[in-house]
Chain A
């Protein structure tokens, strides 16, 4: 072995990196080579000098790290990674404000829950002294919270599929499938929502691990220390608090990230796919990706959201996106269709949007929103609790908004107060004021009745 090669081994020895198999050769050479023994001694002394010289630099590095952390923290919530700077138009900003003021997702006394309650802890049997009560059922891993059509489960160890009861618990290892026209929603114990599209089969391996065998699943993942993962052929898609949609298409998987980021792990390595992106996964790797309208791409879930009969932050977010798209020529028809798909749950947010002061400068969107309310009224999708707010639209400055509000009221209540919808488009304010006062009086008499029931035409 040459002295040059040995000098490398000397360095490795000093650095604690010498491989066991190289030690005999190093020791044998040092035993006979004075020059290399001098090099070893010189390197050792020099190493000590360098460590002493760099000690202040190491301390500087620690101070610097603390300084950077302090600077990051001083950025406040606005510096939070992943926060999308929402470039709302004025109208959309008004909508967002209306939502914040209105909070349609807060349950009021006139709303009754449609979905089965999430099973938490069972009460102890009657007569059992509390001090000795041991009957506290464990929180199930997941629960079927909404079913539209035939949903079947295959618990671990069993051979026959059976109908899944609404509100029924799901144990680890259970397979679930939806029929050709069925959709459903599960809630896991950590609060994540797993929604299955038609003709889908999923295995719940654990609270935060699924296997997608076929079909399409949209996961809205709660934040937790452990990763939420869905395995697909030759890849795993993982997230730490996000919303993403996976659909098996032949040999490939389509991934759409609605919120946050996901990590795709396969044979060839890892890749991150971010919010707003659609990726095609094939043979364990991301083959292609593009920017995509994530709300429209996952609009199949609106059927599930519409069945909840009450607004939620999730509905509000989707509606906000769709309203923002209204007015963009190519997206308009598609977006309007998806708003209508959201159904009753978006009526109050739509009305609030129209009434919001910040939407006043966007005439087109306000009128569109009012027209959508009228359309929803024609489908019997206007909740009784929205009537009073729609009556207030009768005094709007925009004639088309007044017209659509009158249409919505007529369809919902079969009342006109003697003032046909078309007349609200004129400038005959005296007659309109009179009709408005009649509506107010009518509402005072019928309020209790309408707030209790869902309106049907």
Chain B
């Protein structure tokens, strides 16, 4: 069934229909949230919040075939709410995760880079670099690698053309390549 048909079925009381939508869209929602807030742990909570908000507000969706783009909008708003709330708080350094720097958003330059790179460190390093990319570039990287989304699928979610997706992925890869090379020298 298409997303639109699942939406209709869900609106008419078939609970399994929304569950199917959850399975289809969780990875992409998580990618969008991760790209927005640049923290994987927080992104999971925000993605769950997004999917629940989508469930409650499904009746407000006017075109069922645009479910993905609509859910993307909810994800962005959910993340912005979190970012605003976080900006108001005074967060002590001790509560920040190992991947993040003093301000909680940007990894401190060189964190993990000076140490010998184990597999986990390598993974953390490249993820940190992805999290440092400009927002429009890190979003496409995360959408692609969270789920192997096609250009067309990503274009649908982000509201741009497949050619734009291609260009952004290329630019993201190029920037990652240069930064990783610089970090490893």
Cβ contact within 8 Å between A68 and B147: no
Q: A209 CA to B104 CA in the complex, in Å?
A: 58
CB < 8 Å: which of B12, B65, B169, B180 contacts A11?
B169
Q: Which of B31-49 contact A (CB under 8 A)?
A: 34, 40, 44, 47-48
Cβ contact within 8 Å between B169 and A15: yes
B145 interface residue (CB < 8 Å to A): yes
B69 interface residue (CB < 8 Å to A): no
Residues of chain A within 8 A of B62, CB atoms compared: 271-272
Cβ contact within 8 Å between B169 and A72: no
Residue of A nearest to B41 (CB): A60
Q: Known contacts A58-B147, A223-B12, A239-B12; is A270 also within 8 Å of B64 by CB?
A: yes
Cβ contact within 8 Å between B59 and A274: yes
Q: A62 CA to B26 CA in the complex, in Å?
A: 7
B161 interface residue (CB < 8 Å to A): no
Residues of chain B within 8 A of A50, CB atoms compared: 126, 130, 141, 145
Count of chain A residues near B, Cβ 8 A: 52
Cβ contact within 8 Å between A43 and B177: yes
Residues of chain B within 8 A of A223, CB atoms compared: 12-14
B175 to chain A, nearest CB (A): 11
Cβ contact within 8 Å between B22 and A261: no
Cβ contact within 8 Å between A240 and B19: no
Cβ contact within 8 Å between A83 and B11: no
CB < 8 Å: which of A49, A62, A69, A260 contacts B12?
A260
A132 interface residue (CB < 8 Å to B): no
Q: Is the contact region of chain A dominated by helix, strand, or loop, or is it mixed?
A: helix
Q: A263 CA to B176 CA in the complex, in Å?
A: 45
CB < 8 Å: which of B13, B40, B122, B173 contacts A57?
B40
A241 interface residue (CB < 8 Å to B): yes
Cβ contact within 8 Å between B55 and A52: no
A17 interface residue (CB < 8 Å to B): yes
Interface membership of chain A positions 32-48, coded 1 if the CB is closer than 8 angstroms to chain B and 0 otherwise: 00000001001100110
B79 to chain A, nearest CB (A): 15
A71 interface residue (CB < 8 Å to B): yes
Cβ contact within 8 Å between A269 and B63: yes
Cβ contact within 8 Å between B64 and A242: no
A267 to chain B, nearest CB (A): 14
Q: A227 CA to B6 CA in the complex, in Å?
A: 12
Cβ contact within 8 Å between B64 and A272: yes
User: Which B residues lie at the A interface, using CB under 8 A?
Assistant: 4-5, 8-15, 18-19, 22-23, 26-27, 30, 34, 40, 44, 47-48, 51-52, 55, 58-59, 61-65, 122-123, 126-127, 130, 141, 144-147, 150-151, 162, 166-167, 169-170, 173-174, 176-177, 180
User: Which A residues lie at the B interface, using CB under 8 A?
Assistant: 7-8, 10-12, 15, 17, 39, 42-43, 46-47, 49-54, 56-58, 60-62, 64-65, 67-69, 71-73, 79-83, 223, 227, 238-242, 260-261, 263, 269-272, 274
A–B complex contacts, Cβ < 8 Å, 24 sampled: A8-B170, A11-B166, A12-B166, A43-B173, A46-B173, A46-B176, A47-B173, A50-B130, A53-B122, A53-B127, A54-B127, A57-B40, A58-B146, A60-B30, A71-B52, A72-B19, A81-B18, A227-B8, A239-B8, A240-B5, A240-B12, A261-B11, A271-B62, A272-B63
